[in-house]
Amino acid sequence: MPVGLTILLLFQLIGEILAYATHGAVPGPVIGMALIFLCLFLFKGQDRLKAFETHTLSASRLLLANLGVLFVPAGVGIVQHLDMVADRGPQLIATILLSTLATLLVTVSTFLLTKRLMGARKDG
Amino acid sequence: MADGFTRGLWVYLAASPLLWLTVTLMVWLLALRIAALSPRNPLLNPVLLSVAILVALLLASGIRYDSYFAGAQFIHFLLGPATVALGIPLYEKLALVKANLVPMLVALVAGCLTAVGSTLLLCHVFGFPPVITASLAPKSTTAAVAMAISAGLHGDPALTAAVVILTGITGAIIVTPLMNALRIRDYSARGFAVGLASHGIGTARAYAVDPIAGLFSGLAMGLNAILTALVVHLFF
C-alpha cells in the first residue's frame, strides 16, 4: 500500500510539472493518469513491472472503492453559496437537472447508436 | 467553570485539523449506513447525505468553511492520486476499451457539446448574468478542471466548485432510474454517460453499481476534462 500510494503521487507530481510547463491546458492528475497507463502499456509483460503492477493495483483499488468520500470536503463548500442558491434556487436547479439529463441521454444514445452501426457494418 | 473548560477545549480542538477530519470520516460512515438501508434508492446517495449533514453541522455550530476545510483538506487531497489511479483499470481492461473506442469518441464529442451547449442555452433562457453563466459552463468536468476553466472565462471558481458538486450528485441520483427506464443494459455505455455528465461523483456511483461501468465512467471523466478545456472557448 505505501509503495502503491507513493507511485501514484509520483505520477501526479510528474503530471503537475508537465501541466505547469504547458500552462495548465490539461490538469496534472489527468496527465498523471495518462502517463501511468502508458507506462503499464509500454512495459507490459516485463518481470520488473510485475511488482509495480501489484503495488499500484492495491492502492488504486482502495482509492476507487472509496471515491465518494473524497468529494465531501469540496461539496461542503456549498455552505458559502447558500444565499445564491436561495436567490436563484429554482432556475439553478432546473439548469443543472435539465442539462445533466440532456447530457446523459445524448451520450448514452450516441454511444449505443455508433456501436450498433459498427456492428451492422461488421456483420454485413 | 464547566463553561470555561468547554470553551478552552473548543479553542484547543479548533486549532488542529483532527476534529473536522474525524467528523468528516464519521459522517461518511454514517451516510454509508443510511444508504445501505435502501440500496435501491438513489436519493440516499452517500455524498449528498454527507454534505447535507456536514452543512447542517457547520451552520448549527457557526464554524466557518475555511476552518472546516483546514481539517477536511487531507481527504480532499487524495482526489489527485485517485484521478491518477483511474489509469490502472484502463490498462487492465484495455481490450474492452479498444473494442469500444469509436463509440466512446463519438459519444465524447456529442456529450461534451451537449453538456456545455445545453447549460449555456438554459442560462440564457433564465437570464443569468455573464459571471454565473461562465461559472456554470464547465460544470460536467471534474472540480479542479472546471475551476480552472471558469477562472479563464471570468467566472467565479468558488461558485463553479459548488455547481460541479451539485451536477455530480444530480447525475449520480438520476442515472440508474433513467437507464433502467430506458432498458439500457450496456454497462460500458451507461458508465461512459454518467462519467461524462457527472465526473467523479458519477464515477463513484458507477463503481458502486458495476466495475465495467466504473471503468468507462472514469475514462469519460478524464476525456471530457480534456475536451471541455479545449472546446469551451468556441462558445464564448
Report domain extents, chain B: 2-77, 84-235
Contacts of A110 (CB under 8 A, 6+ apart): B103, B106, B107, B110, B111
> For residues A69 and B32, what is the distance between their CA atoms, to the nearest angstrom?
10
If one compares A26 and B179, the residue with the highest pLDDT of the two is: B179
- B22, B65, B68, B70, B175 from B17: Cα distances, Å: 9, 13, 8, 6, 35
Predicted local distance difference test score (pLDDT) of residue A124: 46
Return the DSSP state at B64.
-
- A2, A11, A23, A54, B89 from A48: Cα distances, Å: 18, 18, 34, 11, 20
pLDDT 10s digits, B67-99: 999 989 999 899 889 888 888 888 888 888 888
Q: Which three cell numbers stand for residue B171?
A: 447525475
Q: Which three cell numbers stand for residue B66?
A: 475555511
Q: Which residues of chain B have pLDDT under 70?
A: 1-2
Helix (H, G, I), strand (E, B) or coil at B161: helix
Lowest mean pLDDT among A19-33, A102-116, B58-72, B170-184: A19-33
Residues of B within 8 A of A9 (CB-CB) are 80-81, 84
A53 band by pLDDT with thresholds 50, 70 and 90 = confident
Q: How far apart are the first and last CA of chain B?
A: 61
Residue A70 is nearest to which of B78, B91, B118, comparing CB atoms?
Answer: B78
The answer on pLDDT for A9 being more than 60 is yes
- State the pTM of this model: 0.83
Are B184 and A112 within 8 A, CB to CB? yes
Crossing angle of the two packed helices B101-125 and A82-123, in degrees rounded to 10: 150
Q: What is the average pLDDT across A51-76?
A: 86
Predicted local distance difference test score (pLDDT) of residue B30: 96
DSSP for B91-120, please give it.
Answer: HHTHHHHHHTHHHHHHHHHHHHHHHHHHHH
> For residues B227 and B159, what is the distance between their CA atoms, to the nearest angstrom?
22
Are A103 and B114 within 8 A, CB to CB? yes
Question: Number of C-alpha atoms within 13 angstroms, CB side, residue B55?
Answer: 17
Range 69-128 of B in CB contact (< 8 A) with A? 69, 72-73, 75-76, 78-92, 94, 100, 102-104, 106-108, 110-111, 114-115, 118-119, 122-123, 126, 128
Kindly state whether A68 is in contact with chain B, defined as any CB-CB distance less than 8 angstroms: yes
Helix (H, G, I), strand (E, B) or coil at A9: helix
In Å, how far from its chain's centre is CA B47? 9
